[in-house]
Structure 1
Amino acid sequence: DNYLEEAMKMRNLLEEFRGNHGLRPPTILGVRENVFTGSVSSLALFMSNQETSFVTLAQRVLANPLKVRMHYGHPDVFDRIFHLSRGGISKASRVINISEDIYAGFNSTLRQGNITHHEYIQMTVLTVYIFLYGRAYLAFSGLDRGISKQAKMSGNTALNAALNAQFLVQIGVFTAVPMIVGFILELGLLKLQLCSVFFTFSLGTRTHYFGRTILHGGAKYRATGRGFVVRHIKFAENYRLYSRSHFVKALEVALLLIVYIAYGYTDGGAVSFVLLTISSWFLVISWLFAPYIFNPSGFEWQKTVEDFDDWTSWLLYKGGVGVKGDDSWESWWDEEQTHIQTLRGQILETILSLRFFLFQYGIVYKLHLTGKDTSIAVYGFSWVVLVGIVMIYKIFTFSPKKSADFQLVMRVIQGVTFLTIVAALCLLVAFTDLSIPDLFASLLAFIPTGWAIICLAIAWKDIVRRLGLWHSLREYARLYDAGMGMLIFAPIAVLSWFPFVSTFQSRLLYNQAFSRGLEISLILAGNKANVEF
């Protein structure tokens, strides 16, 4: 934080303690943080951009004219005598006070301190920002108002409705305008990269753990370190980190979008569907593939093959005493349930899991087979079909170890069952109203229902264990994780077949010098396995 260039400015900065900044002398000098590692990779650039938005653009307004700036992060300079003579800045509770930064500002303000912000330590052009803020405000408010009036005069209700919906998100867009305009002004338009993907994914992380803390408590600080590390993260490790926080939620949103496209209706047709759902599809793609897009060498074929072997080994390895979640899916699955510890948490998880049953309840009445029948018997029959599917799965996954003869009998039973199912489906499609789209719709209905059953069983796992169903439930959960993993891994494997995808990713993530070094390293490595970059 205080390298040579910054140290040469410190004498001038410390003189601000002598200056006149209001009724009271300053006790904390706020400055912007110069993140000089932003050119290492795209992720480093995105985080430095986040610093510019929060620590610079927002903090300068909080300091002047609002006078409510508190302490943030490393660059601020403290009046040591002032704070040590007034109780210090440390806090006793590491659970309640997870971050120590903001409380230092609280203490300073409550003890009649004065916190300022000084921009000259990193020069900027304030008047240009004011001009561009005004232009952005005119673009977002005045012009749209004129179009809305014209739509009302011409009777164009669809355009009017679209504009009204746009105003709902205008506040969120407007808050990002200063950062976007500032980067275009200072760095140029061509410097824009996949920051939207990164921060959309980051938003999912905050949302998941904030919600889990509200439901179950137990907030904790995860240290990320300050090391300079560029290495390939295995597919299984990314899946363990983001499965429940991002992948499950992304697939849930994708299912909702598919249902909306299949059964929804708008006056504008396909164009309206695209306009209404494009942001949601962007959210789905970001939450599913962002960890692999920003993963170094994520689309190298050799790395992909190694990741698949590691993924299958982790998925099929049995857990036990002393086996960590990094080595076994079963141990990881048990660790993912540790946050549910209270009756309140069990009840809340139950209530939230009930939403998955809405898929089945809505889709079964849209099938061609059911026609216009809306009786409750249709929904009840769908549960009979679901139980039958579960029993068939148990038949196909049952593998006795008693004798070779019994295994042969089971293989015959499984083969006969498979042929019977295929013949029955063909007859139903040929002689009843059941159609091929109905089969896919049924799959769309039963997948969320199965996940809801798994979530409910996890919430009440003590009862499920007493009933002797825990082992079967774990196998169904393994099937779901295997399906989700393959759904995410398949596009990565396909893109890894094309060498230019990996080259494009390396050039996107890193600067030109590092990208060339990475290509040379790959050439020198040849066919050597397990080479880390």
Structure 2
Amino acid sequence: MQQGGVSKATKTLNLSEDIFAGMDFVLRGGGRTIKHREYFHLAKGRDLGFNTVLAFFSKLSSGAGEQLITRQTLRLGSLLPLPEFLSFYYAHMGHYLSQWAVSWGLPVLTLVWLLILLNGCEDANDLSIKCSATGQSAASVMAEAWQYIYSGNLLIVFLLAQMAPIFFEVWMQAGLVTSIIRLVKQLLTLSPIMFIFQAKVIGFYTMNELKYGGATYVATGRGLPTERRPFVGVVTDSGRLQPGGLYLDYARITYYDGAALLLLMVLVVVAGGMDNTGPQLYGIMVSLCLVTVSWLLAPFIFNPYQFRPSCWANDMKAWLQFFLEDGGSHWKKWFTQTQLKPRRGFRATILDTWKHAAVAAYGAGQT
């Protein structure tokens, strides 16, 4: 009972079952060792399609969010020496938290950029930029800041650090030429867009589990990755709509945030953020465009037969039925399950109240 007792039987804690079992094993101590055996079975495979991979990551992320608040994590954090703790953190929960931080870093910085542009150079406001001495505008000050962040050397080091692990692994296994070809293929097949979207999904499910809970098992299946995923559903032979598609899967995860980021970019341009800046903003604009395209279009880019005209016609028909069939019951049910239900409960109320209070406090400070 001192190791968690019946609470360890909670099904949501075991969504990442191998990780949680390892945490319990380490806590038992006593010099125990684990014998690991691999079994290979004929025809045992997994679908590596876009949606299946992200469904698998959503399950792992939800399980990691549940494990973050367990007593096992608290004990490991208190008892492990610093090197072992850092190894445990970055190999497990740190990975999921960093995906959330990376995903939200650029939108938050863009919002700060917009606030600085709107704040201007009024010396009466202590929070504004002091431009009177230098004669620089807020746009030029921010352009210099972005140019420093996206300087050539820093950007090259960051990109190399991201690509180095798989590059050296393939190099050791298959040789240098194969490693270079593999890296070029990944870039040509738009893997950066895939990984940007994947980071957003991982961060969303991890933080959503911390805020609202409600983790569930996600069946990934063993289907073929060549099957096309519809937009909102499929119209059956009887003329009825069977809901389920890309928009329903990712609307609250990436589409809404992608649209908000696109709106921020437009507001930055309207507020004069691009005036007289020259090539200083190339780096940040490329990053913003990559993130926006990934969050809004990645599911459609990697969806087989997405741009076939006949499939478009079926998607349009299903989209109309999604809103009009049975008095709009389909979209009402989807909205209730995905938007309203996860935000109920005491924990969700406290966190949302704190978030709104922080925004109100910032607005009061500005005035």
TM-score tier (shorter): 0.5 to 0.7
TM-score (structure 2 length as normaliser):
0.52
**Residue equivalent to 2:14:** 97
Larger radius of gyration, structure 1 or 2?
1
Matched, 1:174 2:168: no
Correspondence list, 1:26-37, <5 A: none
CA RMSD of aligned residues (A): 3.9
Which residue in the other structure is 1:196 paired with?
A: 192
Specify whether residues 266 and 313 from structure 1 end up closer, same or farther in structure 2 by C-alpha distance, changes over 3 A only. Answer: closer
Cα distance in 2 for partners of 1:271, 1:355 equals 36
2:349 corresponds in structure 1 to 346
- Write the letter of the residue equivalent to 2:11: R
Aligned to 1:330: 332
| Post-superposition offset of 1:190 | 4.1
Distance 1:295 1:160, change over 3 A: closer
Q: Identify if the C-alpha distance between structure 1 residues 262 and 231 changes in structure 2 by more than 3 Å, giving closer, same or farther.
A: same
Alignment partners' CA distance in 1, 2:359 and 2:320? 28
**Equivalent of 1:112 in 1, 24, 31:** 31
2:93 maps to what in 1? Answer: none
Any conservation in 1 of the 2:230–2:315 contact (CA below 8 Å)? Answer: yes
Following superposition, the deviation at residue 302 of structure 1 comes to 0.5
Instruction: Indicate the larger mover: 226-235 or 209-218.
Output: 226-235
Q: Which residue of 1 aligns with 2:208?
A: 212
- State the TM-score, normalized to the length of structure 1: 0.37
* Cα deviation 1:354-387 (Å, max 9, x = unaligned): 8999xxx9xxxxxxxxxxxxxx9xxxxxxxxxxx
Residue 396 of structure 1 corresponds to none
Distance 1:160 1:334 in 2: 43
Deviation at 1:347, TM superposition (A): 4.8
* Matched letter for residue 317 of structure 1: E
Which residue of structure 2 aligns with residue 385 of structure 1?
A: none
8 Å contact from structure 1 (residues 253, 284) kept in 2: yes
Cα separation, 1, equivalents of 2:34 and 2:269: 53
Per the alignment, do residues 206 and 295 of structure 1 end up closer, same or farther by CA in structure 2, a change over 3 Å counting? same
CA contact (8 A) 2:150 2:284 kept: no
**What residue in structure 2 maps to residue 453 of structure 1?**
none
Q: CA deviation at 1:186?
A: 2.5
User: How many correspondences in the alignment?
Assistant: 227
The one-letter code matched in structure 1 to 2:325 is Y
Offset of 1:312 from its aligned partner?
A: 1.2
Describe how 1:510-521 pairs up with structure 2 within 5 A: none
Q: In 2, distance between residues paired with 1:177 and 1:94?
A: 37
Task: After TM superposition, give the deviation of residue 204 of structure 1 in Å.
Answer: 1.3
**Counterpart of 2:98?**
none
Aligned residue for 1:235, secondary structure, equals coil
Residues 470-506 of structure 1: CA distance to partner in whole angstroms, max 9, x if unpaired?
Answer: xxxxxxxxxxxxxxxxxxxxxxxxxxxxxxxxxxxxx
Q: 1:333–1:267: structure 2 CA closer, same or farther, 3 Å change rule?
A: closer
**Aligned match of 1:162 in 147, 162, 166?**
147
Q: CA deviation at 1:93?
A: 2.6
When residues 223 and 335 of structure 1 are mapped into structure 2, their CA distance, relative to the original with a 3 A threshold, is same
2: CA distance, partners of 1:255 / 1:355: 22
Partners of 1:200 and 1:256 in 2: how far apart? Answer: 19
Residue 169 of structure 1, CA deviation: 9.8
Contact 1:261 1:273 (8 Å CA) reproduced: no
Percent identical residues: 26
Deviations, residues 138-185 of structure 1 (Å, cap 9, x unaligned): xxxxxxxxxxxxxxxxxxx98897355555995685143221455574
Compared CA separation, residues 161 and 208, structure 1 to 2 (3 A): closer
Deviation at 1:116, TM superposition (A): 9.2
Deviations 1:393-422, CA, capped at 9 Å, x for gaps: xxxxxxxxxxxxxxxxxxxxxxxxxxxxxx
What residue in structure 2 maps to residue 287 of structure 1?
295
Match of 2:269 in 1: 261
Partner of 1:464: none
Q: Could you give the per-residue CA deviations for residues 89-146 of structure 1, whole angstroms, max 9, x where no partner exists?
A: xx6331223211123434554342456999xxxxxxxxxxxxxxxxxxxxxxxxxxxx
Structure 2 Cα separation of the partners of residues 172 and 352 of structure 1: 34
State the Cα distance separating 1:299 from its structure 2 match. Answer: 0.4
2:317 aligned with 1:309 = yes
- Distance in 1 (alpha carbons) for counterparts of 2:341 and 2:157: 40
8 Å CA contact 1:230–1:296 kept in 2: the answer is yes
* 1:290 CA displacement: 0.9
Residue by residue, what CA displacement relative to the aligned partner does 1:290-320 show, whole Å, maximum 9, x if unpaired?
Answer: 1111111100000001111111110223458
Task: Indicate conservation of the 8 Å contact 1:232/1:298, yes or no.
Answer: yes
CA distance in 2, matches of 1:317, 1:351: 39
| Structure 1 residues 24-423: aligned runs within 5 Å | 92-109=9-26, 110-114=29-33, 162-163=147-148, 167=154, 174-180=161-167, 182=169, 185-187=177-179, 188=181, 189-192=183-186, 193-236=189-232, 237-265=245-273, 269-318=277-326, 328-336=330-338, 337-349=340-352, 352=355
Q: Is the 8 A contact 1:208 1:245 kept in 2?
A: yes
Deviations 1:26-80 (A, max 9, x none): xxxxxxxxxxxxxxxxxxxxxxxxxxxxxxxxxxxxxxxxxxxxxxxxxxxxxxx
Match of 1:410 in 2: none
Distance 1:108-1:299 versus aligned 2 partners, 3 A rule: same
C-alpha distance in 2, partners of 1:306/1:161? Answer: 44
Contact kept in structure 1, 2:13 and 2:20, CA below 8 Å? no
Per the alignment, do residues 191 and 226 of structure 1 end up closer, same or farther by CA in structure 2, a change over 3 Å counting? same
Aligned equivalents of 2:267 and 2:359: distance in 1? Answer: 13
- Closer/same/farther in 2, CA of residues 267 and 332 from structure 1, 3 Å limit: closer
Q: Give the whole-Å Cα distance in 1 for the aligned partners of 2:36 and 2:276.
A: 51
Which deviates more from structure 2 when the two are superposed, residues 279-288 or residues 269-278?
269-278
CA gap 1:352/1:106 in 2 versus in 1, 3 angstroms: closer
- Letter of the 1:162 counterpart: Q
